[in-house]
Chains A and B, each alone.
Chain A
Amino acid sequence: MQVTDDRINAIDIRNAVKRYGDFTALKTISLSIRDNEFFTLLGPSGCGKTTLLRMIAGFEDVTEGEIFLFGDEIEKLPPNRRPINTVFQNYALFPMMTILDNVAFGLEMKGESKAAARKRAGEMLELVQLSQFSSRKPSQLSGGQQQRVALARALAPSPKVLLLDEPLSALDLKLRQAMRFELKELQRETGITFIFVTHDQEEALTMSDRIAVMSAGELQQLGDARDIYERPSNMFVADFIGETNLLEVEVDAVEAGRAQVHLGGGHQLSVDAVEGVGKGAKVHMSVRPERLYLSEGAEGPESLAGTVRANMFVGTDIQTLLDLDGGVQISVRSSNSERGNKRVFEPGQIAHINMEQGAARLLAD
């Protein structure tokens, strides 16, 4: 126990490395997950997020490094001796057992009497509103119902940490969206630390207290949803999360926390400076399309003129693609509402692109 910190982390991963022969799946990851946190590992497939989750669960050995659960070292324990439960991607419900027996299984294995285990399993099924299905087999349930059984089964033994491996990916869109709120609610109600693995950024952004963005076996950025969306630390994060304009710029001067940059076509802009990007640097700048707006005349100093190439109707938004001098292309999103949709420019028209305060972000790499 660390005396200096009265809030012990639920999970502490220290310099964890995972190698399969010559292939390094995880390159020295250190990560702390706080108690009672909804934590998400986000990244494209093959980024190592599932490997990391399986190392926490105990299904994969840790090649190097340590994992602590509330201060106890666990990386050498087999899965059945870690008070951590998992909701599997395709649920992995036991096909020959009833729903009730599935949920009671973990409790029984923990040494509870059959009667006590079944009673508690019944309560868990009530919690996920599946009591009426308790005597059915998993194959007789819909995907969404199976998903909730998997949740009930993993939560029944009251784990210290719950791991969720892309649990929503097999559901259809509507159900997936509804389940996001249910999961978040469940996490709040139970107070259990959730570690959620997904490749779906929207899932990550809507549910998580904090997100770890991973790519190629490395941690790219750690922060809450706003940090990651609005202050991406590198090209990968900016590009992977949401939609963005990645513009090549050259830094002309850095002064008092502001950087003077110019685009390919010579357009001058003043943006917030970031560490590691100095004068003369050729870097990328990320600007979210929804933080830009169009007007007939220039509004403010950070305004660029461009020719409208096309409009796309996205439902909630209208997306406008514009060509700037020097072959630069910028996409702008305006909300499809009376207030947001001030004016629609037709292809061929000249429009001014205006930037909200702090919309542009320089990226170190």
Chain B
Amino acid sequence: MAGGAASGGSARTDTYREARHWLLLPSWVVLIFLILIPVLMMLVYSFLTKEFRGGVIWEFSLDAYDQFFFNRGLFGDEPPSIEWTYITIFWRSIWQAGAATILSLVIGFPTAYFIATRPEKVRPMWVFLITIPYWVNLLIRTVSMKFVLRDQGPLNDFLLWTGLIDSPLHIVNTNFAVQLGLFYSYLPFMVLPIYASVERYNFALSEAASDLYAGKWVTLRRILLPAVKPGVIAGCILVFVPSLGSFLAPDLLGGAKNFMIGSLIEEQFKGNAGNWPFGAAASMILLSMVLIILIVFARQQARAEKGGA
């Protein structure tokens, strides 16, 4: 198309081309000022020396990364050994975010499927209903959740009342509470992309599969899931990535034992106790980890597609 227009060589094509640059300007502004520059700042800060009351001294240093990975004793004079504290926090974060993603998928997929199979007229209403809780501030929602889940909270009251349990379940300050919190924080990000793909799905394909002797489960696994996979992947990424860096749910629902990277980074920039280069380094490590996960995922995807062809 562009080639055809260019060969026309008229003044009009030139105008179009000029207009195109201007129309792309907002995207460039967003990309440069809101993504590229902040990330570069973060990268630079991670290689600077810390100032004790927050902030940085403009002096190159690898201390932040060193502190993250190595333990040199209390006074920094012992031979370095691997520092497990932060690696453990990272590992726990991945695990928690992964569990929250799976939970969102298990709940979100049927929800999205349900909405997409309603009559066309009522679908927007269902989508709207799904988003209603998210009009409330995340902090307030997370705090409320803590109240609902705590030992004397409505959930336990209800379970005790039904006689399903004899003593209150301890949910708050467990890994599970964090997973629940993350799940609840990001559920719409799972539901909406899956809903969009299921809505576009040609249900005649399910009928065809059933016509060709496939049961419901096989139809789901071999026909529907492959067709809506892009939506499922998008949903998983949109839940996993923010969960990984989240600090509200872990802080409020997980307690001190269930510290996640988000909280670790947050602390480095809060008040006077912080360590900006360390926070920046942790952010950069988190960023590279997310990128690596996404790249591995995309590669595997491409390979699977090639293998199928």
Contact = CB atoms under 8 A, between A and B. Distances in A.
Contacts of A95: 205, 227
Interface string B208-235: 1111111100100001001100000000
Contacts of A84: 211
A88 B218 contact: no
Contacts of B209: 94, 105, 109
B202 to A, nearest CB: 7
A80 B213 contact: yes
B207 A85 contact: no
B204 interface: yes
A79 B309 contact: no
B210 A94 contact: no
B227 A86 contact: no
B227 A78 contact: no
A57 B223 contact: no
B207 A79 contact: yes
A93 B212 CA distance: 12
A90 interface: yes
Contacts of A226: none
A180 interface: no
B205 A105 contact: no
Interface residues of A, number: 26
B307 to A, nearest CB: 12
B204 A106 contact: no
Q: How would you classify the secondary structure of chain B's contact residues: helix, strand, loop or mixed? A: helix
A96 B226 contact: yes
Contacts of A85: 211-212
B211 A80 contact: yes
B208 A80 contact: no
A157 interface: yes
Contacts of A105: 209, 212, 214
A86 B209 CA distance: 10
B230 to A, nearest CB: 11
Interface in A73-87: 78-81, 84-86
A352 interface: no
Contacts of A58: 210-211
A106 B212 contact: yes
Which of A58, A79, A98 counts the most chain B CB atoms within 10 A? A79
A137 interface: yes
Contacts of B212: 80, 85, 105-106, 109, 153-154, 157
17 contacts: A57-B211, A58-B210, A80-B212, A80-B215, A85-B211, A86-B208, A88-B204, A92-B207, A92-B208, A94-B223, A95-B227, A105-B209, A105-B212, A109-B209, A109-B214, A154-B211, A154-B212
